[in-house]
Amino acid sequence: MSAAHIPAIVLGGTGYVSGELLRLIAGHPQLRLAGILSDSQPGTLVSSAFGHLAAIYPLTRFSSQEQIEELVATLPVSAIISAAPHGASAALIDRLLTVAEAAGTQPRVVDISADFRYRTAEAYAAVYKHAHGAPARLSQFSCAVPEHLAQASTPHVAHPGCFATAILLASVPLLKLGLVSPQLYVSGITGSTGSGRKPTDGTHHPQRHSDLYAYNALVHRHTPEVAACALDASGVAAEFNFVPHSGPFARGIHVTVQAQLREPLDTAALLAAFDQFYAHSPFVHVAAAAPRIKDVAGSNYARLSVAANGRSVAVMSVIDNLNKGAAGGALQWMNRLLGLAETAGLTAPAAGWT
């Protein structure tokens, strides 16, 4: 199969991240959608769940697991991106890889769930309070944001979560360059799409509209993941003190990371250090102006800025949680795994006025 027509398979059904994956795949120059799994709605039109994609996928229907397994068994090469829920993704991926191994096919997998973000089943179980769904597969996955790992040594990749992506982009340069003491304080605000499609008390629009509040202060379940990824990327074991907040907007994450500088540096010097650190990262922009969510919403870009006062430093980081923090970051990794241009299908700018 030519590189211009690599079949893509999406796992995860009707969730927001699945919808974003479908939108990005539609604009990708070398991927084509081969199937999207929904065990709850097989045979249903994709446009019934994602009305904004009706013009692109007017006749495409959700597939059953059996249909997806048949695709994986018959396609010599495929790109599988899983947006299935935490706790369900691992077993599903394990089944598809088992089918592929029996058939002699070679899918590449990027998992957006948390199931392959930890190196051991015990570390995963300690956070998620249930056994890992495919512990024998953990060694086949690397976990990092693309900007912090030049090349994966494994056939498959786990993409860090949306909060983790924003925090790591801001924190890793501080740690890897030895600029700060390894105690970091993080305040982050996320849009409502980060909580998934099913309304809850914390995400229902009348509750969230025109409001701002913290949740899971200092005990957020993604904090250990951030620390583990930061250690892998920087070589520094750092302590992250994270307070997440729910924001009254749909898309985007704004994170502020604060720390103590080992030696006094001014803002200009820190901006230069960050700019050099990300000089070869096409999706990360560093600027003196404070970053705004509207500058990245709907895109795979991240914007960072830095401020210093004596020995205190603050790094501001904004991303789109559905795109750079999930579907776009996963597609960025898939481009690499398939030997395609890293930026393929991902260079569209932010909408600006979402």
| Catalytic residue flag (residue 143) | no
Model confidence over 67-91: pLDDT tens digits? 999 999 999 999 999 999 999 999 9
Q: What secondary structure letter does DSSP report for 113?
A: S
CA distance 57 to 277: 40
The predicted structure's pLDDT at residue 209: 85
Cα distances (angstroms) measured from residue 217 to each of 91, 243, 245: 31, 4, 9
* Residue 124: Cβ within 10 Å count: 26
Model confidence over 207-242: pLDDT tens digits? 888 999 999 999 999 999 999 999 999 999 999 999
Which of 339, 281, 304 is CA-nearest to residue 167?
304
Task: Report, as an integer, the average pLDDT of 322-331.
Answer: 98
To 5 degrees, how large is the angle CA 25–CA 112–CA 90?
Answer: 120
Which of 17-31, 125-139, 189-203 has the least mean pLDDT? 189-203
Higher pLDDT, 88 or 1: 88
CA distance 61 to 68: 12
CB 98 within 8 A of CB 28: no
Across the chain, what does the average pLDDT equal? 95
Would you call 109 exposed, middle or buried from its count of C-beta atoms within 10 A (0-12, 13-18, 19+)? buried
Domains and CATH numbers, the chain: 3-143 (3.40.50.720), 163-320 (3.30.360.10)
Residue where the block lists tokens 């020995």? 311
Q: Say yes or no to pLDDT of 1 above 60.
A: no
In this structure, the chain runs to a length of: 354
CA dihedral (36, 42, 47, 50) in degrees, to 10, reads: -70
CA distance 85 to 95: 15
Residue where the block lists tokens 């015990």? 122
CA dihedral (122, 129, 326, 65) in degrees, to 10, reads: 90
Model confidence over 103-120: pLDDT tens digits? 999 999 999 999 999 999
Residue 189 parent element (H or E): strand 183-190
Choice among 17, 21, 68, 162 that is catalytic: 162
Which of 201, 190, 197 is CA-nearest to residue 83?
197
The predicted structure's pLDDT at residue 114: 97
Model confidence over 293-323: pLDDT tens digits? 999 999 999 999 999 999 999 999 999 999 9
CB 227 within 8 A of CB 240: yes
- Maximum Cα–Cα distance across the chain: 61
What residues have CB less than 8 Å from 317, skipping those under 6 apart?
Answer: 166, 167, 169, 170, 253, 254, 255, 256, 257, 291, 302, 303, 304
Model confidence over 154-208: pLDDT tens digits? 999 999 999 999 999 999 999 999 999 999 999 999 998 876 777 777 677 778 8
The predicted structure's pLDDT at residue 207: 80
Sheet of 6-11: strands edge to edge? 31-37, 6-11, 77-82, 106-111, 156-158, 141-143
CA distance 29 to 336: 14
Task: Report, as an integer, the average pLDDT of 266-286.
Answer: 98
Which of 345, 260, 347 is CA-nearest to residue 311?
260
The C-alpha R_g of the chain, in whole angstroms, comes to: 20
Model confidence over 48-63: pLDDT tens digits? 999 999 999 999 999 9
CB 309 within 8 A of CB 265: no
Residue 267: band (very low, low, confident or very high) from pLDDT cuts 50, 70, 90? very high
Q: N- to C-terminal Cα distance for the chain?
A: 38
Residue where the block lists tokens 């999930």? 326
Residue 4: band (very low, low, confident or very high) from pLDDT cuts 50, 70, 90? low
